[in-house]
Amino acid sequence: MSRLSLWIDESERKGLLAVGGVLAQWSEIPSIVEAWRDMKEKADLARDTEVKWNLSPDHPMRKQLESSGLNTRDFAEKAVQFLVSSRMFFIVAVMFEQRKMSLWKSVWPKASVRDFYCEGLKYVVQRAAEEVAETRTDGCVVVCDTPDKIRRGHRAVHEAFAEWYEQGVGVGPGKQQYSSPLKDIGFHPTILLGDASFHDMLQMADVVVGLTGDWVASIKDGKSNPWVTQQFKALSSTFRSKYGQPSFWGDGLVLWPWQKDLWESLKADLGE
C-alpha cells in the first residue's frame, strides 16, 4: 500500500499568514525522521531537540547551538540543505489581510489574519489531492501542528476538512485533475493534530513555512534580505511545480489574494 502524508504548520507576520508544509510518502517517514535527527546530532543538538525557523531568545535549541559554537543561521542553512536533498516536496499558501481591521475588531476583538487559516489550508490540500489522484496512491493522511490560535480553534479546522472529505475541496492548479470528495481517493477521514515539540516532520514543516513567510514578508515590505533570499531560492527547487506559471509559481507557492506587483517583485528577487 502506498500512501502520502501532508504535514502542516503556519507562520504569521503582520498582515500575513503562511500555511503549508511537507508532502511525503507515509512509508518513508521513519527514515526521513531518522536522517533529520542525525543532522541535529551532527550539529551537537540532542536528537529530540525541537527545531524551529524563528527562535525565541530562551528557546532550548538556541541555547544548545550557542553552547556548541554555532549560530542560528549556521543551523538554518543545514536544515534547508537537508530539505532540498530530501525525497519530499513543499506547498505553501500565503494569505494576506484585506479587511478594515479597525471595523472588524470593533465586532470581533480577536480578528486577525489567522482567520484565513482554513482558506490557506484548502489550497494546500487541493494540491495534495491532485497528487494522490495523479500518482494513484492509496490516499493521504493530513497532520497539522496544533492550530490553537485561529478563531474557533480546532473545531474550525475539523469542520472545514469534514466538508472537503464529503463534498470535495475544489480543483487545484491542474484545473481538471481532481475535484471530487476526498473520501473517494482514500484520504484519512479527519485531520490529525500534532505538536512540533515532539514530531520531527512538523519541525520540517515549520522551517519550510517560516522561511517562506520571512521571504514574502521581506519583499512585501521592500526590505529584501539577501540571506533569506538565498535560502528560499535553494528551497524553492523542491516546491511542487507541475502546474505553475512557470515552475512552482501558483502551484507550490500560492498568494491569496493574488497581488500582481508583489508577484513580480518576488520573481525579480529570485532573478526570474
Q: What are the DSSP calls for 107-151, one per residue?
A: H-TT--GGGGHHHHHHHHHHHHHHHHHHHT-S-EEEEEE--TTST
Task: Tell me the per-residue pLDDT of 94-113, one tens digit each, with 9 for 90 and over.
Answer: 999 875 555 545 454 555 56
Task: Tell me the per-residue pLDDT of 175-229, one tens digit each, with 9 for 90 and over.
Answer: 877 889 999 999 999 999 899 989 999 999 999 999 999 999 999 999 999 999 9
Looking at the 3D structure of the chain, how many domains does it have? 1
Domain at 241, CATH number? 3.30.420.10
193 by DSSP, 3-state: which?
strand
C-alpha cell at 77: 542553512
> Residue 15: its pLDDT value, please?
87
Residues of the domain holding 107: 4-269
Helix axes 72-84, 200-220, angle to 10 degrees: 110
Distance from C-alpha of 149 to C-alpha of 128, rounded to nearest angstrom:
24
> Residue 99: its pLDDT value, please?
53
pTM for this prediction = 0.92
Secondary structure element (H or E) that encloses residue 54, with its range: none
Q: Which amino acid is at 71?
A: N
The per-residue b/e assignment along 134-165, b for 16 or more CB within 10 angstroms, e otherwise, is eeebebbbbbbbebeebeeeeebbeebbeebb
